């Protein structure tokens, strides 16, 4: 039997399927939701069993399609609304692999909290799996700010998972509130899962007019009283909410004088929303996240930034097998990524890599370069076209975005513009290649490259390239390595 490393924490799924039935908060549809076990490294996926082929939607920010008062994910025509409460329960219970089957477009809202879904997971039971958890360990500060909305979210390095939330609606009915979760295992179920969704009284009609909260009522949401209303307006409001019993403006600050489960229940629910949205990073976190005035839009933008870091770390781990100070990819890693070999491999190492944004490579220029034999005898100068090729090869690293295998692609130049050579490059120089992504579409990329020696600009240019799938001739379906732009067939020059 294989021995486990005691320092590793294993992945978990649930032991058996478990279901609930109810109404969705925003759409008002009736849905049966079933949580099902999933294999290792499967992740969290929503499955629409009411659609032909039962399409699955991975729970990650790449599949977020709407953030109007809740987080909606989709793929093709399939959508799932208001996923955050279910996801918060899954993260809070530390489940890594699970299928959420739905026969409609929105999970049941239950009582407006994450507790019904926690209860489902507790009923199903947890099952430990063989594979270790794939933690995203935050080792640098990541920050998102929206000054107009007063939103500030920051992730800081720590060795566990902590969330702190502050809300300030500048409204006397709610005021400023804050809360913090510092121990997921001990605090989530008892202190946070039961906190319910809420809205302000003045928002109710607006939300209904926008086609939202069709399933909302006073049993699954807290309505914060923030204005006085005459009796006629109260009756109109009750009719709009579909409430048959009497509605009163409470003295507690909550419609119908409903008692809060926690003194700062709105802040705790905002923490639940944040936890659910951060599940869309696609990996369990080890980080301390501090959030001021968060909402779904800001949560998702922050999650996008963190997911990029996660994808970047996975890419580096895939190709760079040995950690080296100040090096992202060494020459061995570069040879795993690019097909070039002597005498045409013109990048020695990558010292900075930001997925889909920027790469910085280094080429050490020595007298041993084969091209110096003829360019020029007695006065060696690196050919400008090879400086351009070195920039193109470094730019090829920017194809690494976590969703594609670069070995399956060919990259061809479509245009090279505004190329300028400022200084000569000679033996003994260290050529630093700074490449930025200008734009990236499915089939076309645009990059801007600059080359430096000792901080001085020696060459620059703008490149447009086409990215196509490559298969070996003969139609056997095998895939050949990718090539960078200057490796083209003669007829394509």
- Give the span between the Cα atoms of 184 and 160, in whole angstroms: 9
Phi-psi region of 347 (alpha: psi -120 to 50; beta: other; left: phi over 0): beta
Q: E strand or H helix at 154, and its extent?
A: strand 151-156
Which residue among 12, 26, 85, 296 is the active-site one? 296
Query: How far does the chain reach from its first CA to its final CA, in angstroms?
Result: 58
Interhelix angle 115-124/84-92, nearest 10 degrees: 50
Other beta carbons within 10 Å of 356 = 15
Active-site residue 296, yes or no? yes
Exposure on the CB side of residue 142, measured as CA atoms within 13 A: 23
Q: E strand or H helix at 285, and its extent?
A: strand 285-292
Cβ 103 vs Cβ 50: under 8 Å: yes
- Give the span between the Cα atoms of 184 and 29, in whole angstroms: 32
**∠ CA 283-284-289, rounded to 5°:** 110
Active-site residue 375, yes or no? yes
DSSP string, 250-270: -SSSBGGGPPPSSTTHHHHHH
C-alpha to C-alpha distances, 305 to 138, 149, 221, 281, 314, nearest whole angstrom: 12, 18, 31, 9, 15
- Give the span between the Cα atoms of 377 and 400, in whole angstroms: 39
**Cα dihedral 308, 313, 319, 325 sign:** positive
Gyration radius of the chain's alpha carbons: 28
Give CB contacts under 8 A, 24+ apart, made by 172-175. Answer: 172/226, 173/200, 173/224, 173/225, 173/226, 173/253, 174/200, 174/224, 174/226, 174/253, 174/266
Burial 135-159 (b: 16+ CB within 10 A, else e): ebebeeebebebeeeebbbbbeeee
Residue in the structure block whose two tokens are 């040995």 = 322
Beta strands in 298-442 (DSSP E): 349-354, 358-364, 409-421, 430-440
Residue 406 in 3-state DSSP? helix
Residue in the structure block whose two tokens are 């944004």 = 357
Name the residues annotated as catalytic: 296, 375
């Amino acid at each position: 039997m294989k021995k486990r490393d005691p320092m590793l924490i294993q992945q978990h799924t649930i032991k058996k399927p478990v279901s609930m039935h109810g109404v969705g908060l925003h759409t008002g549809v009736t849905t049966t939701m079933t949580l099902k076990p999933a294999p290792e490294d499967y992740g969290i996926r929503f499955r629409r069993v009411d659609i032909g082929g039962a399409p699955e939607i991975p729970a990650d920010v790449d599949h977020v399609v709407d953030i109007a008062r809740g987080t909606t994910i989709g793929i093709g025509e399939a959508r799932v609304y208001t996923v955050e409460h279910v996801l918060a329960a899954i993260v809070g219970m530390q489940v890594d692999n699970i299928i959420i089957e739905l026969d409609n477009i929105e999970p049941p809202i239950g009582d407006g909290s994450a507790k019904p879904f926690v209860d489902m997971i507790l009923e199903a039971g947890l099952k430990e799996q063989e594979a270790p958890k794939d933690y995203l360990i935050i080792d640098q500060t990541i920050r998102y700010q929206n000054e107009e909305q007063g939103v500030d979210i920051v992730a800081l390095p720590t060795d566990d998972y902590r969330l702190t939330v502050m809300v300030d609606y500048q409204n006397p009915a709610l005021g400023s509130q804050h809360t913090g979760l510092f121990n997921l295992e001990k605090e989530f179920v008892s202190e946070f899962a039961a906190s319910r969704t809420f809205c302000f009284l003045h928002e109710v009609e607006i939300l209904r007019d926008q086609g939202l909260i069709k399933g909302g009522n006073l049993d699954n949401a807290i309505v914060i009283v923030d204005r006085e209303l005459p009796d006629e307006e109260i009756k109109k409001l009750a009719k709009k909410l579909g409430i048959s019993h009497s509605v009163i403006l409470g003295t507690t600050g909550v419609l119908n004088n409903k008692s809060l489960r926690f003194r700062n229940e709105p802040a705790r629910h905002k923490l639940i929303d944040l936890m659910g949205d951060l599940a869309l990073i696609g990996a369990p976190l080890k980080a301390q996240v501090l959030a001021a005035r968060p909402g779904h839009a800001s949560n998702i933008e922050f999650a996008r930034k963190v997911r990029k870091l996660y994808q970047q770390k996975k890419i580096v781990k895939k190709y760079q097998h040995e950690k080296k100070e100040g090096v992202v990819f060494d020459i061995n890693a570069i040879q795993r990524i690019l097909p070039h070999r002597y005498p045409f491999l013109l990048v020695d190492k990558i010292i900075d890599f930001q997925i889909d944004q920027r790469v910085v490579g280094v080429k050490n220029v020595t007298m041993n370069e084969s091209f110096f034999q003829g360019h020029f005898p007695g006065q060696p100068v690196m050919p400008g076209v090879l400086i351009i090729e070195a920039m193109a090869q470094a730019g090829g690293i920017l194809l690494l975005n976590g969703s594609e295998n670069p070995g399956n692609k060919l990259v061809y130049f479509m245009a090279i513009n505004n190329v300028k050579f400022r200084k000569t490059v000679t033996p003994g120089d260290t050529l630093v290649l700074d490449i930025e992504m200008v734009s990236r579409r499915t089939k076309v990329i645009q990059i801007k490259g600059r080359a430096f020696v000792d901080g001085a600009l020696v060459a620059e240019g703008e490149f447009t390239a086409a990215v196509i799938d490559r298969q070996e001739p003969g139609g056997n379906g095998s895939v050949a390595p990718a090539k960078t732009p200057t490796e083209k067939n003669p007829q394509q020059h």
